[in-house]
Amino acid sequence: ETDLTPKQALQHLKHVSEIWKLSNEELDQLQEQLHSNKIFLNMVVHDMRNPTVSAKLGLQATLDFLKKIRSNNDTTLSAVEDLSNLVDRLQARSPPSNGACKCCKGRRKSLKSMSPGQSPMAEANQS
């Protein structure tokens, strides 16, 4: 151990105090830099997340649209089938190709012999 004079001890204490002060300043600077880095990193993460959210929303909208189209196609197909069945039923009740009506058992004139614009119902009402 070395004996220090009071003057040397005071100088040593000033030196240690200066080192302590500098290390605290450096620590403060590092903490500020860390805080700035965290803010920057949060901004980068936010900016990266926004386009992916937009892309996800766009894909979801496209998927919903495709599901709606599929549903509409199913509805349209069902409507076409219903109309086709209706036409089949109407054709089954229509007069045969010779023009005689099944329900009237041939009492009405042939549809072929009617003049243009003449209604089959008008003729049925006359008889």
pLDDT in tens, 47-82: 887 777 788 888 888 888 888 888 888 888 888 888
Mean pLDDT in residue range 8-31: 94
* Cα four-point dihedral sign 72, 75, 79, 80: positive
Query: Does one domain contain both 58 and 105?
Result: no
CA dist 21 → 15, 18, 30 (Å): 10, 5, 14
Predicted model pTM:
0.38
Asked if residue 19 is part of any domain, the answer here is yes
Query: Does one domain contain both 30 and 71?
Result: yes
Domain hosting residue 105, numbered range = 100-127
Banded model confidence at residue 89, pLDDT cuts 50, 70, 90: confident
Asked if residue 61 is part of any domain, the answer here is yes
Question: What is the residue type of 63?
Answer: L
Q: What is the average pLDDT score of the chain?
A: 79
Asked if residue 1 is part of any domain, the answer here is no
Query: Does one domain contain both 22 and 84?
Result: yes
How many CA atoms, within 13 angstroms, populate the side-chain half-sphere of residue 57? 6
Three state DSSP letters for the chain: CCCCCHHHHHHHHHHHHHHHHHHHHHHHHHHHHHHHHHHHHHHHHHHHHHHHHHHHHHHHHHHHHHHHHHHHHHHHHHHHHHHHHHHHHHHHHCCCCCCCCCCCCCCCCCHHHCCCCCCHHHHHHHC
Asked if residue 113 is part of any domain, the answer here is yes
More confident residue, 98 or 56: 56
